[in-house]
Amino acid sequence: MTTLPVDQTQIPFDHKQTRRDFLYVLTGCVGAVGAAATVVPLLSQMEPDQATLAAGGPVDLDLSKVQPGQQVVVRWRGRPVFVINRSPAALKTLQDEKLLSQLADAGSEQLQQADYAKNWHRSIKPEYGVYVGICTHLGCIPMYYPDPSASVPTSDWLGGYFCPCHGSKYDLAARVFRGVPAPYNLPVPPYHFPSDGVVRIGTNPPDSNFDFSSINQL
């Protein structure tokens, strides 16, 4: 496994770009996709690789790389996938009525995930969240702000993702807020845990046949 440090992903967005244009740029970010995760700062990987795009196999991530409160970004099928390790405090916040009342789809009614992630934490294990990191508005990559702190993008920030392109907000279960441009929660890719210390992105748990192409919006 090749592992490089990454603590944030930011891709400059040209507001004249269409969603299609932006996604084309984004898919140009991919490198190797295969049996092991490659964790990279996306800006450093801008060369298109059509063979890799076509491969699309599952990606394994060693969860020891993701300490509580941290996020690691891996690539799967040319897309950034956020893997986060939520702290107990973050899990408590995800159930806070003050937060829930601000969300557009708190119950994950829209088809943006498999049934195994249709719950309050939108994941298989509450502590680990796995989300496709592409804003459902026009395809920017949301930024990770896990903590309510002084350096947050908006007031009353409870922790989550902020999309700098047009201001969409998501919580730490990637549920979108009401009143922002993005219409849907971030998608959950197929994934499961082949062992306690590894998450495999790209394949469902053995008892699921979830079809990722059936989601509403990527």
* Among the residue ranges 51-59, 87-95, 98-106, 136-144, the one whose residues contact ligand FES (CB under 6 A): 136-144
Using CB under 6 A, pick the residue from 73, 165, 186, 215 that binds ligand FES: 165
**β-sheet bridge partners, residue 62:** 198
The site for ligand FES, by CB under 6 A, has a size of 12
Q: Are 136 and 127 in contact (CB under 8 A)?
A: no
Round to whole Å and give the CA distance between 135 and 58.
Answer: 22
Please report the beta strands in 63-121, taking only residues with DSSP state E, as ranges in sequence order. Answer: 71-76, 79-85
- The answer to whether 148 contacts ligand FES (rule: CB under 6 A) is no
Part in contact with ligand FES (CB under 6 A); list of ranges 1-9, 116-124, 134-142, 196-204: 134-142
Judged by CB, which is closer to ligand FES: 94, or 163? 163
Token pair for residue 213?
């192409």
Q: Which residue has the tokens 């995800």?
A: 94
Contact between 163 and ligand FES (CB under 6 A)? yes
d(CA 99, CA 94): 7
Nearer to ligand FES, 182 or 188 (CB): 182
Burial (CB count <10 Å: 0-12, 13-18, 19+), residue 122: buried
| Range in contact with ligand FES (rule: CB under 6 A) among 97-105, 112-120, 132-140, 189-197 | 132-140
Q: Please pick, from the candidates 28, 69, 181, 205, the single residue that binds ligand FES as defined by CB under 6 A.
A: 181
Q: Which residue's CB is nearer to ligand FES, number 114 or number 165?
A: 165
CA gap 52, 68 in Å, rounded: 31
Region of 27-35, 135-143, 145-153, 206-214 interacting with ligand FES (CB under 6 A): 135-143
Find the binding residues for ligand FES in span 56-115 (CB under 6 A).
none
What one-character DSSP code corresponds to residue 163? -
Cβ contact 77:56 at 8 Å: yes
Which residues form the interface with ligand FES (CB under 6 A)? 135, 137-140, 163, 165-168, 181-182
